[in-house]
């Protein structure tokens, strides 16, 4: 069974609170999304496989651990997921990036797929699916299903803010996937927006409203 990890480090909580504020500018909102993603990536990659190699220090030869190659793929759900990619790449610069384009139909709140392009060896990587918001869970459930249909097995989900409804939906559809969130909020409102949340993450990241 996948686990829910709430990464409530004080620095993460402080930055999420700043993202929530209506008065936070697009520029700051974008920077905060990147900074929180970097901090979260530290925990999400905790169980990365290591390989031992012999190295030479100024003192002697020794064995040392390195992250085993070809390990990570980052998969943002377009478009808001893009705001989380650079933070992760700062920590894991050799990660490959795949994109899944989904938008939530404003009437039905159901996800509609419009794009999918993954690294050729995506099925051999640990994939971190990123999206700032996990609301009904429809988008994340669909994105993870697309990855599994393409042979991917080792998948983690990373969100900045989640609603309990979205967490339950992902756990029910994909019990093998661990979910990492910076905040587990209270509920969804009648428009399926997260309460208290931060509003529309895509619009706030890209200044489109
Ligand atoms: C937002 C958000 C998630 C989705 C979450 O995207 O970035 O992808 O809604 O909602 P769900 O859990 O109910 O599916 P949106 O559809 O607004 O598209 P955008 O990223 O292009 O703004
Ligand atoms: N998508 C968002 O951007 N925000 C929400 O609160 C819910 C879905």
Regarding the beta carbon of 133 and ligand 2, being less than 6 Å apart is answered yes
CA 29 to centroid of chain Cα atoms: 16
Regarding the beta carbon of 103 and ligand 2, being less than 6 Å apart is answered no
Ligand 1 center from residue 196 Cα (angstroms): 16
Regarding the beta carbon of 135 and ligand 2, being less than 6 Å apart is answered yes
> What residue owns the CA closest to ligand 2's atom 7?
193
Regarding the beta carbon of 83 and ligand 1, being less than 6 Å apart is answered no
Cβ contact 174:155 at 8 Å: yes
The verdict on whether omega for the bond into residue 79 sits within 30 degrees of 0, i.e. cis, is yes
First to last CA, the chain: 39
Regarding the beta carbon of 79 and ligand 1, being less than 6 Å apart is answered yes
Distance between CA atoms of residues 125 and 165, nearest Å: 28
**If we measure between CA atoms, which residue out of 94, 96, 76, 95 comes closest to residue 34?**
76
> What residue owns the CA closest to ligand 1's atom 18?
103
pLDDT in tens, the chain (209 residues): 579 999 999 999 999 999 999 999 999 999 999 999 999 999 999 998 899 999 999 999 999 999 886 689 999 999 999 999 999 999 999 999 999 998 878 888 888 889 999 999 999 999 999 999 999 999 999 999 999 999 999 999 999 999 999 999 999 999 999 999 999 999 999 999 999 999 999 999 999 98
Regarding the beta carbon of 82 and ligand 1, being less than 6 Å apart is answered no
- pLDDT for position 111: 87
Ligand 1 center from residue 53 Cα (angstroms): 43
Regarding the beta carbon of 197 and ligand 2, being less than 6 Å apart is answered yes
Which residue from 162, 194, 206 has its CB within 8 A of the most atoms of ligand 2, so it is best to mutate?
194
Distance between CA atoms of residues 23 and 79, nearest Å: 22
Ligand in closest contact with the CA of 134: 1
Regarding the beta carbon of 194 and ligand 2, being less than 6 Å apart is answered yes
- pLDDT for position 156: 97
């Amino acid at each position: 069974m996948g686990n829910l990890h709430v990464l409530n480090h004080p620095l993460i909580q402080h930055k999420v609170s700043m993202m929530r504020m209506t008065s936070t500018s697009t520029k700051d909102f974008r920077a905060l999304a990147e900074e929180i993603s970097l901090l979260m990536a530290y925990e999400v990659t905790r169980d990365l496989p290591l390989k031992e190699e012999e190295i030479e220090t100024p003192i002697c030869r020794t064995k040392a651990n390195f992250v085993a190659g070809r390990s990570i793929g980052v998969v943002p759900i377009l478009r808001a997921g893009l705001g989380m990619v650079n933070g992760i790449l700062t920590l894991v610069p050799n990660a490959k990036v795949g994109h899944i384009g989904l938008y939530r139909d404003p009437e039905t709140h159901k996800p509609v797929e419009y794009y999918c392009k993954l690294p050729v060896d995506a099925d051999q990587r640990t994939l971190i699916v990123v999206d700032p918001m996990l609301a009904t869970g429809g988008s994340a459930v669909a994105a993870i299903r697309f990855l599994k249909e393409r042979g991917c097995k080792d998948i983690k989900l990373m969100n900045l803010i989640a609603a309990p409804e979205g967490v339950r939906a992902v756990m029910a559809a994909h019990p093998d996937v661990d979910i990492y969130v910076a905040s587990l909020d209270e509920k969804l409102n009648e428009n399926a927006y997260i309460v208290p949340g931060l509003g529309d993450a895509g619009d706030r990241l890209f200044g489109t409203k």
